[in-house]
Structure 1
Amino acid sequence: MALSRLRGVAAAAAVVLMSLTACSTGPAGGSSGGGTAAASNDAFPVTIEHAYGETVIEEQPERVATVSWVNDDVSLALGVVPVGMPKVEWGGNENGSTPWKDAKLEELGAAIGSENAPAQYSEADGIAFDEIAALTPDVILAAYSGLTQEDYDTLSKIAPVVAFPDTAYGTDWQTSTEMIGKALGKSAEAEELIASTEETIKTKAAEYPQLAGKTFIYGNLEPAASDGVNVYTANDNRPKFLNSIGMKQADVVTEATGDSKEFFIPWSAEKANELESDVFVTWVPDAKTKQQVLDDPLLGQIPAVENGALVADSDNTLTLSISAASPLSLPWALDTFLPMLAEGADAADAS
């Protein structure tokens, strides 16, 4: 995916379905699709700190709207069906959704197309302010997003907004879950969800011991382009996921990014041979492009590419599940993504 499109998918953090019945309360609010927890120990009002200050939520929300990716996944995982959420327009299915989202919506009695389904709005041209306002939400979830100050101010005129805590598109799924759990009055459920998801990842990753300690670079390769390499930093959800399964970001990336808050850095294809790591992970539109990377006179000099340890993912939905990682998407993707990584690790061992 070209970086301009990947900026939106940013996350850019892996991979999706586990049992979340302990967190499920089902939809409330009839055809509105709004959901709220019947039982909660959280006291309101609550104050949530984020990049644009503080947001006070006076009462437990009953009508939840979301923007960007991840936020709707977390809300659903906590048993709360939003009244509105964005269509998934890259990596999505015919429902404007994803397999993991569809499964949870059906479980909560709010499948796309049913009377309890959340409204869906397009973000192809930016945030759907008017459509969100028409839903009269009690809170707008944007813990994982790229909201600008202007976006935040506009949304705040509609309802209290939970913005990202520090870096645009850099919020890890655990922090998103904590923030959203607090906003929805479901902090205990959020803690349980994080723990169970982390345990699922740990258990699955243990089936592939060759991944432990392997160095990686997660990037985007565009053959025949002079600036044909973009490398994701530790701020992005993709490297965060690989770290969580015991892999280690390559020193060349760590040293080049320093304390940058960007989720990626450009890298000249002329210096591709300096991208030293055991495994290189990238997205490609098709198998043909992977072969073009292998044959490219510059990109082919990337050590992991030379050694046959290029992990090239051409499944948009799988890419989305990793880059916009959530407690629903990650368990869904593990059985597909981990074997791909293990194959790359095996090639590194054999080189």
Structure 2
Amino acid sequence: MLTSGNSSSHPVSFILLGLPGLEKSQFWVAFPFCAMYVVAIVGNITVLHIIRTDHTMHEPMYLFVAMLAVTDLVLSTSTQPKMLAILWFHAHEIEYHACLMQMFFIHAFSSVESGVLMAMALDRYVAICFPLHHSRILTPSVVGKLGAVVMMRGLLWVSPFCFMVSRMPFCPNQIIPHSYCEHMAVLKLVCADTRVNRAYGLFVAFSVVGFDIIVISVSYVMILRTVLGLPSSEAQLKAFGTCASHICVILALYIPALFTFLTHRFGHQVPRVAHIMLANLYLLVPPMLNPIIYGVRTKQIRDRVIQGCCGKESQVKA
């Protein structure tokens, strides 16, 4: 059923298919997705709690990790509960405005996550290349302003997606062969010329991700030059070690993100099952891995987690 307005018509709801091609095994596939979602929620909340309660961690690196944790919570929660409802309870219907909201949160906070990673690269650049001036350059106020700019960029760049889609007429077909409302998947249901929408999508992708990757790459080139100029191999390894977590997080986000983006537009030969599975993992694996990576590789966070798990037991033994 379509609802008509002055300038557009849209369906009351859409039908999300979930995982097309895996209908017989969707119920069981949902269990690992649920496990990853639980790990993402528990891990990111734990990281946020540790950073909030430990005042020694109110430094740029940890503040950026906290921003990343908040972004990961929003990203995973915007898609996974609905996806699990589809796979377990066959709740395929999603209301039109709920679909637009989901689309907004997915793309806005994907942009925010990319921006936070860029800010973290700048933090590593200043910390390694200008260690004596790090605390003076990256004050809490500067970190807060960087976070606000990244957030505003995500909101302002992505908002036109929803506005332009909401002003366009939809075809009678209401089926989205996906488990969430992705911009390109929704756009394929529009009965009008979508070249402007597609062009704007490309502009946002390249202006956000392209800009962030350039800044990250330049930062690491400068870091590499500085590290290779250090007098001892021990100092070089220590400097590289401070960047290892960030590099792992970058690869976990950008590789599946770029694959998903390019497949939607150019990868017509890629099997739909592979595309949709990777699209789901793209929004779930980074939020799950990020707290694990920083928890394992960051000594202060790791020690606080161990203390929280074993502290009471140690006190009883003492």
| TM-score (normalised: structure 1) | 0.24
Ranked by relative contact order (alpha carbons within 8 Å, sequence separation 6 or more), the top structure is 2
Structure with the larger strand share: 1
Structure possessing the higher radius of gyration over alpha carbons: 2
